[in-house]
Chains A and B, each alone.
Chain A
Amino acid sequence: MVRRILTLGGHDFTSRPPDRAVCEFLLRLATERGGERPRICILPTASGDTSDLIQSFYGAFGDRPCEPSDVSLFRLGRRPMALRDHLLAQDLIYVGGGSMVNLLAVWEAHDIASILSLAWRQGIVLAGQSAGAMCWFEAGITKSSGKPLEAAGLGLLHGSLCVHYNNEPERRAAYLEAVDDGMPPGYGLDDYAGLLWEGEDTPSAVTARRGARAYRVTKGDEGAMESPLPARFLPAPAPAALREDIAEFRRIKTMRRRAGWLG
């Protein structure tokens, strides 16, 4: 069983090309496990289950070949569900961004961590951006309390991660300082850069935007050192509207061909 985790430095669910590229890659990973209509579930806990995030997730995946769903721990009262059964029936579990400290605290209160760890061992792809990426590591750099600080994660992956790397210079600076002070070293991810983990060893880097990079951060004799990793570029698929146009065009072409209009 391949244990896969995709950790992303930062992205949205808009229709802009790099966001579409990220969603396409998520869909591909889900499809590799689940076949034609994989099940993709978002855990928006870190945001406090905001409807904005949930809606944009459905906006991105609603018309794609998959079955999207959401587990909103703050809405369970109105919409009860069997958490464990639902999560373990997924092909990909996506964790949204927000407060890493709250994410882990709420998960602990609801005993979600053990379910996610089991899901991972069963080959369900785990993914996420920002807090939803750092949570899988031993530690991350969170701004949950305002200024960037070290916070503990679930520890499925060794080492640490810092997200929004060159997008938030103060976060990067705090990370380099923390690594120098003895925080387990790890990785830095710009927005739209990601690391695909297959097992716990060396991840492969991907990027959905030119210039967005993944970095290996280690501790050397002269403090923390960063080295950029070679990354595979993720192309953006045609936007949804265009896909519909193409489909319509093809339908018309087929009809015409059948009718003998087009040789």
Chain B
Amino acid sequence: MESGNPLLDDYVLGLCKAERPRVCFLPQASGDADHYIVRFYRAFAATRCEASHISLFRREQGPDDIRRHLLSQDLIYVGGGSVVSLLGVWKAHGIDAILREAWEAGVILCGLSAGSLCWFAEAVTGFHGAPKRLEGLGLLPFSNCVHYDPKSDRREAYHRFLREGMCPGYAAEDGAALHFVGEELSRVVASRPEARGYRLDVSGQRVMEMRIATTYLGERGVVPEAALPEALSTALPAG
């Protein structure tokens, strides 16, 4: 749902086996903001999929049986915003358990920003104030950091959290997407030529940050068969 860039939307729709995939949008991280829901329907137009959304703030709209609706989807797309609010609302409505069930049943789960962080065991949120560490749904047994930028305070905070015992994980720059199959990272794709994903490990006080070979979705014929480490950089603790 990047504005003016459908590459990642095309990619994730391409993962669905159905000819006209059923796609459901969960906009809770934004408080079910109307403008965001409109953007979703624009990006996932009726010409190529059967789109729907679930609003937990306005239950008079949408399906009655949320569980059945979610389990019948090919793809569930989670929007960005406040991951803290997102997880709070989901827990109150039992959506967390339904999403795990959907994942186990083979429904493709996807999302950006808060909609990425939520799937991991741990995450770095920088939505409000200084970056904070929080627990996600834990479908993926890693940590996650989004809007990753060499200069951002999120990166610095992520490295610090790793040294303080956060589990190893993955980071993505804006425009990069981490594609997991089961609990394994399958590949990293991007809607911008320069966007990258990273693998982060920690050994004692030493954080290892590894750039992951990333497939730019904008050019044809350059798809590598497997994701290979493209460069290795080691970040040492500051001071």
Contact = CB atoms under 8 A, between A and B. Distances in A.
Interface of A: 45-50, 73-74, 76-77, 80, 98-99, 101-102, 104-106, 108-110, 143-146
A139 to B, nearest CB: 15
Given A50-B34, A80-B128, 17 more contacts: A46-B57, A48-B57, A49-B33, A73-B31, A73-B85, A74-B85, A76-B82, A76-B128, A77-B81, A77-B127, A104-B92, A105-B88, A105-B91, A105-B92, A108-B88, A110-B88, A146-B64
B150 interface: no
B92 A102 contact: yes
Contacts of B204: none
Contact of A102 (B33, B57, B87, B127): B57
Interface of B: 29-34, 56-60, 64, 81-82, 84-85, 87-89, 91-93, 127-129
Which 6 pairs from chain A and chain B are nearest by CB?
A: A48-B31, A109-B88, A105-B92, A74-B31, A76-B128, A48-B57
A74 B93 contact: no
A79 to B, nearest CB: 9
B92 A101 contact: yes
Question: Binding site of B, secondary structure by majority: helix, strand, loop or mixed?
Answer: loop
Contact of A145 (B30, B89, B93, B127): B93
Contacts of A46: 57
Contacts of B64: 146
A53 B84 CA distance: 22
B89 A106 contact: yes
Contacts of A99: 56-59
A244 B89 CA distance: 44
B85 A109 contact: yes
Contact of A74 (B58, B60, B82, B129): B82
Contact of B31 (A50, A80, A109, A144): A50
Contacts of B34: 50
B83 to A, nearest CB: 9
B59 A145 contact: yes
Contacts of B85: 73-74, 106, 109-110
